[in-house]
Amino acid sequence: MTRALTTIGFDADDTLWHNERVFRLTQDRFAGLLRDHADADHLMDRLLAAERRNLGHYGYGVKGFVLSMIETALEVTAHRVPGEIIAELMEAGREMLSHPIDLLPHVHETLGTLSASHRVIVITKGDLLDQERKIAQSGLGDLFAGVEIVSEKTAAIYEDIFDRLGDGAARAMMVGNSMRSDVRPAIEAGGWGVYVPHALTWDLEQADPPTSPRYHEIPDLSALPALIGQIET
Amino acid sequence: MTRALTTIGFDADDTLWHNERVFRLTQDRFAGLLRDHADADHLMDRLLAAERRNLGHYGYGVKGFVLSMIETALEVTAHRVPGEIIAELMEAGREMLSHPIDLLPHVHETLGTLSASHRVIVITKGDLLDQERKIAQSGLGDLFAGVEIVSEKTAAIYEDIFDRLGDGAARAMMVGNSMRSDVRPAIEAGGWGVYVPHALTWDLEQADPPTSPRYHEIPDLSALPALIGQIET
């Protein structure tokens, strides 16, 4: 009998472990450092604009985020930002790159259950070395049949990954907290897309939910095995 | 008949196209910007020390290099570096990330020849998005049976790649300009290692040549098909 679903891809940041809150803490620190030069709302607007503008150059991840903070600090101070503040931003970046991993609820048992019956893979964006570090420190590595760190999450990328590591996108599911990067393109590729909202999600990852019978939303990962059971019957 | 060699891995930067010279031009610009604060030799020593210190945080690539330049500028000026200079370093980084690709001699015909008879793959370190951009712009993409962008080039990494994409390291060859990253670990994994020196090679990539019958050095890629012919007879 051919199984309907053989391969389950998981996003990593804010799906398996907390991540965005480390960015938010760093942004708060950034706003504090520059409070004499710009009010916090304006600063966050300029930072988001810099991140958006730089995405095609830097891609995703902490290093590009630090460079965008420095660029924004230069911009809002007309280049008069003190060197001490730049040094603090660099230090904040290094701290982000060694931040301990804090798993989200139900991650370990859900991946343990599913990896016994399905090919479980992780598909994530970000800095190559940093994502590898986080996977290693998560203690989840042995549960994954594959790890793909990609520069962008498009339907074509999901097709390629599920062809190489699974039985094609039609028999695959992607699970994550980004409607734009995890859910919509996986469904566009022909797979299932499962949205697991996280309280904090970066503005650039927001999108409308798709209208597809292959779209599902669950409150947290503990609901995933039952959802998969339904799909397979 | 079992073929002795089925899979050939190529390093990308300074093996397929020029790269280090773009870093050297940027370093010259860096030295010029800071000439009132530090002499060039001292500045380059401090920059190399910063790159070495940051490698475990940032990994390889342009973004980490820019962050290390900024850190060095702060260091040699006791945090008094003008914002205009930081802005120029950021701009230099963006220019590096859009620098046009200039292939090295004999690359296109050598890869064309070998890809007809062998599995040709590219194995490179650096920023994920930037390395993908360069491969796309090189016009060589169709000649590759696989592309692996990795955070470090160790014997274990080569074993994994040649197992997944080839017939194991014992039947694979790695070709590149870094004795430390391309040649030595590929031979340690059980494969052939072919050193193709480039006039400019980063200090952190230097190492002694291995003593192994599987080690070869060629002046440029035009000599590679003949070397492979010898190995296979």
Q: Note the ipTM here.
A: 0.91
Residue among A144, A190, A201 at smallest CA distance from A13: A201
Residues B147 and B37 placed together within one structural domain of the fold? no
Show which of residues 205-224 on chain A sit within 8 Å of chain B, judged by CB atoms.
none
SS (H, E, C) A133-154: HHHHHHCCHHHCCEEEEECCCC
Residues A116 and A212 placed together within one structural domain of the fold? yes
Phi, psi of A146 (to 5 degrees): -170, 155
DSSP B181: I
Q: What is the pLDDT of residue A205?
A: 82
The boundaries of the domain holding residue B216 are 7-17+102-232
B74/A90 Cβ within 8 A: yes
Residues B29 and B13 placed together within one structural domain of the fold? no
Q: Does B156 touch chain A (CB under 8 A)?
A: no
As averages over each run of 10 residues, the pLDDT of chain A (233 residues) reads 90 96 96 96 96 94 97 97 97 95 96 97 94 95 95 96 96 97 97 94 85 96 96 88
Q: Does A77 touch chain B (CB under 8 A)?
A: yes
CATH at B178:
3.40.50.1000
The structural domain count of chain A equals: 2
Residues A141 and A57 placed together within one structural domain of the fold? no
pLDDT over 90 at B202, yes or no: no
Q: Locate tokens 């340690």: which residue?
A: B188
A129/B59 Cβ within 8 A: yes
Residue of B nearest to A97 (CA): B57
Residues B117 and B214 placed together within one structural domain of the fold? yes
Distance between CA atoms of residues A30 and A208, nearest Å: 30
Residues of A in contact with B82 (CB under 8 A): 79
Residues of B in contact with A82 (CB under 8 A): 79
Residues B11 and B32 placed together within one structural domain of the fold? no
CB atoms within 10 A of CB A16: 27
Residues of A in contact with B71 (CB under 8 A): 87, 90
The C-alpha angle B31, A61, B126, rounded to 5 degrees, equals: 55
Provide the shortest C-alpha distance from residue A160 to chain B (in Å).
12
Average confidence (pLDDT) over B61-65: 96
- Contact (Cβ atoms closer than 8 angstroms) between residue B16 and residue B126: no
Task: Write down the H helix ranges in B59-106.
Answer: 62-76, 83-96
Q: What is the pLDDT of residue A161?
A: 97
Distance between CA atoms of residues A92 and A80, nearest Å: 20
In a domain, B114, yes or no: yes
- Contact (Cβ atoms closer than 8 angstroms) between residue B131 and residue B124: yes
Residue among A114, A74, A94 at smallest CA distance from A222: A114
Tell me how far apart the 2 most distant CA atoms of chain A are, in Å: 68
Residues B119 and B64 placed together within one structural domain of the fold? no
- Contact (Cβ atoms closer than 8 angstroms) between residue A9 and residue A147: no
Residues of B in contact with A67 (CB under 8 A): 63, 66-67, 90, 93
- Contact (Cβ atoms closer than 8 angstroms) between residue A47 and residue A33: no
Q: What is the pLDDT of residue A48?
A: 96
Out of B96, B115, B147, pick the residue that ends a domain.
B96
Residues A90 and A198 placed together within one structural domain of the fold? no
In a domain, B185, yes or no: yes
Residues of B in contact with A149 (CB under 8 A): 128
Out of A126-130, B118-122, B171-175, pick the least confident: A126-130
Residues B124 and B65 placed together within one structural domain of the fold? no
Mutation for B interface: A33, A58, A91, most B CBs within 10 A? A58
Residues A174 and A218 placed together within one structural domain of the fold? yes
Out of B96, B127, B147, pick the residue that ends a domain.
B96
Contacts of residue B101, Cβ cutoff 8 Å, sequence gap at least 6? B17, B134, B137, B138
Phi, psi of B118 (to 5 degrees): -135, 165
Out of A73, A96, A119, pick the residue that ends a domain.
A96
Residues B125 and B50 placed together within one structural domain of the fold? no
Q: What is the pLDDT of residue B1?
A: 58
Show which of residues 94-133 on chain B sit within 8 Å of chain A, judged by CB atoms.
94, 97-98, 127-130, 132
